[in-house]
Each structure stands twice: as C-alpha cells, then as structure tokens.
Structure 1
C-alpha cells in the first residue's frame, strides 16, 4: 500500500523516499499495467531481474510476493512468475490504481472508474449529510480554503481536493465507502494533467462545486449534496474523456 496523495505529489516531481523494495515493485507493477509485460507472459529469470534492477534475490523475491498479493503475478513451479489475467488484479489497491496513471489512455477503463466512483461516493455524500459532525465540516472547509488559495500549485490543489473527498467518506460513518479514495485520487491526477489550457477554469469550477457540496452537507440537505457532487463527478468525467 502507498500513502494517499502519493500519486498527486508525484505530479510536481516530488516522490516519497524510496527503497529498493518499493523501487522494484513500482518498476514491475507499472510495466504490467502498461502492457510492457503482457498478461500471460512469463517474467525474466531471477538472475536477469536482479541484474536489471540492481537488487538482491531477497529484495526481488519480496517484491514479487507483494505483486502476487495484489493479484498481478503468480509463481508456478518449473514455469516461473507469470503475469495474471486482469480478472485477478486488485483494482481497489491504491498502487494498482496509481500505476494506471502511467498506462496508455483507456476511455473504457476511465468510464468504468467513474461508474465505481459514483456507486461509492454518492452514498458517501448522502451519509455525510446525515451524520456529519461540526469537526467534519470544519476539516472540509479548511481543505476547501487550501484548494482555493493553491494558486499555480497543482499539488496543493489536488491534495486539498483529495482531503475533502476523504473527509466526506469519513463523515459518512460507513468504513467500506472509504475505498473510494484511491479511485478519486487517480481520477483527480488524470483531470489535473489533461487540457492544460483550461486547467484554471477547471479548478475554479471544482472549487465552486465542492463549496456547494460542503454547504449542503453542513445543512443536512441530502439531495442537494448528492446533486452537486454528481455535477463534480461529471465535470471530471468530461475533462478526462475529452483529453484522452
């Protein structure tokens, strides 16, 4: 697992401190998701990968175990490590989602992501409007201010928006709905890197929508909160699909 916000931080070139284990996981994971290592293909031998990535056998084996736990590969006796069918991939894993940012644009996959986001986040915002506390609202307003004052910082804007969505999920009091955060982060990262000529207008519209959502949550207006969040989801959808 990776920390929420890691993908958005990487947009400005700032990455979390890495170690050999995470380096190998990221290199192989991205290659699988991008299709460089196709489904059904067998990865190179341990000796070749150890030389390629400059790591020990222990580090490589641990990395492959992590990838296997995510459903991306499977080790077979006398065959080697094979890339698993997509049906076995854990698409709710934050790293697996983040690796899709580097993959070729796939409008069908993006539309599926939005369907999942709506299925999770619309019930979350309804729950937030019913169960929010004063502290929930305070946190949302704080991050809204951070987004509104981000200026040219894509990182600050993206992280602030992500925190708002995370707090909506938290305020819903349904722990299962927190799984939407990884999906939201990938879609935010995609939206922030599409159509740069209209980025400022997109950010302004996003802030307006989020402000309306927070006001509706604070007032306990369930239908309005759902409606305005749906508008924000559609804004992201149009932007990403048009820029793909």
Structure 2
C-alpha cells in the first residue's frame, strides 16, 4: 500500500499543515493502523516525529475528534473511539476509508444508503426540477461521456450529476445529503476503476435517469435510479469477491 504522506495529492498539499496531518492520521486510524481502543502517541512525540509544531498536531487531533474518531482525557492520553462512534458519513472519512481497501460490508452499506435515498430523491426531482437544473444535469452527462469515468474529470462530472438530482428536489434536508451521497458515488467509482481493467459502462443508466427527469416521470425516475445503483453494486461486489479470492 502506498504511503499517504509521500503520495499526498497536489490538492491536499495545498491544505493547511494541520489538515494534512489530520488526513494522514485519519487514514492510519480508519485503515486499522491505530485500531479502536488504542492510544495514539503523545502530541510531543507526533510533533517531533514529523518535524512540526505541537500546535499543528493539537489542531489536527481536534479535527479528528470532531469527526468522532478520537477522545482525549487528562492523564489518559488520546484514544481511538469505537467505530460505532465515528461519523462515517463525513466526506473526509469516506475518502480515507478508500485510501486502502475498505471492508466489503462498508461498501455494501454505502450502496444500501444510496438505495434508500436516491430513488426517492429522483422521483421528487422529476416533479420539482427547474429547466436550469435539467440543463446542468445534461452538461454533467456530456462531461462524463467526454472524459470517461476512469478520469478525475469524468468522476467529478458524475459526482456533480448526482448532486444536481438531489438539489433538484428543492428539499433542504435531501440537499444536505448531497455531499455525502456525492462522496459515496465518487469513491465507489474510483474503487471500481482502480481495481478493474474493464469496468462496466454506467452511462446508459445515467441517460435513462436523465430522460425520466426531463420527461417529468417520477415512476420512471425512481426505477432508473434503482437500476443504476443495483448495477453499480453488482459490478463492485464482483470486484470485491475477485480481490478476496486473489488474497486467499
């Protein structure tokens, strides 16, 4: 597995120092290097090892604590909290989980979440979408087709399309889930293309969903979304199974 500190993406290198440290430590926690119940090294040790100020470490630990990963107590140090207490819907946590090979149950849970939220959202969006939102969805699909989902540009367009569907519901609570759903779409897509040489093309299902929303057909929009997600889940599950066989 690559070293997160050495392979830090360009966009991440532009982040403040404490955010970079939080990312590296967050990856170490969610991928099991520091399992739940374990204690992290002290602030002084972390700072000395990385050649940074203790204030940077302190701010990084505060960020991780806000995401539910850590708790600090006087004289007891900083402990990794139980997984049930992590904010697993936090976009950073989703990204960190996929820095390694996430557990199959976790990947399955992401698709279950999508199946609960997105079909109903698409059904509503078919009724409430605006012409401007529909045009933006069409543009996102064009960018997906132009760049392909194996590229960062195509993946960003895919994420934008799913954001737009949720925004088109005009429901502020559903819109608040857009970042989480978009992150789930992005990282499962990256996972699929990272681990499969010939992944299935999901563009036909995306176009069917767009067509249903454009036609203001709620039932067709729901059905198209269910098909899109279940096809993606099946393709991803096959990759997970193949990787498990290879590891065995």
TM-score (norm 2): 0.87
Q: 1:232 aligns with which of 218, 228, 234?
A: 228
Q: How does 1:72-221 map to 2 (within 5 A)?
A: 72-151=69-148, 154-178=151-175, 179=177, 180-196=181-197, 198-199=198-199, 202-203=200-201, 206-221=202-217
User: Where do 5+ consecutive residues of structure 2 fail to align?
Assistant: 1-6, 241-248
Q: 1:30 aligns with which of 11, 24, 27?
A: 27
CA distance in 2, matches of 1:130, 1:89: 36
CA distance in 2, matches of 1:52, 1:144: 46
Q: How far is the alpha carbon of 1:194 from its aligned partner? A: 2.6
Spell out, residue by residue over 1:130-152, the C-alpha distance to the aligned partner (whole angstroms, 9 max, x if none): 10110010000001111111158
CA distance in 1, matches of 2:121, 2:160: 14
Asked if 2 retains the 8 angstrom alpha-carbon contact of 1:124 and 1:174, the reply is: no
Spell out, residue by residue over 1:176-203, the C-alpha distance to the aligned partner (whole angstroms, 9 max, x if none): 223122222222222222312x13xx23
Q: How far is the alpha carbon of 1:94 from its aligned partner? A: 0.5
- Stretches (4+) displaced over 6 A: none
**Closer/same/farther in 2, CA of residues 66 and 105 from structure 1, 3 Å limit:** closer
Asked if 1 retains the 8 angstrom alpha-carbon contact of 2:150 and 2:193, the reply is: no
Q: How far is the alpha carbon of 1:98 from its aligned partner? A: 0.8
Q: Which has the higher contact order (CA 8 A, sep 6+)?
A: 1
Secondary structure, counterpart of 2:11 in structure 1: coil
**Closer/same/farther in 2, CA of residues 171 and 151 from structure 1, 3 Å limit:** closer
CA distance in 2, matches of 1:176, 1:187: 23
Secondary structure, counterpart of 2:155 in structure 1: helix
Q: Which residue of the partner structure matches residue 242 of structure 1?
A: 238
Secondary structure, counterpart of 1:15 in structure 2: helix
**Closer/same/farther in 2, CA of residues 232 and 152 from structure 1, 3 Å limit:** closer
Q: How many residues in Structure 1 have an aligned counterpart in Structure 2? A: 228
Asked if 2 retains the 8 angstrom alpha-carbon contact of 1:162 and 1:181, the reply is: yes
TM-score (norm 1): 0.88
User: Where do 5+ consecutive residues of structure 1 fail to align?
Assistant: 1-10
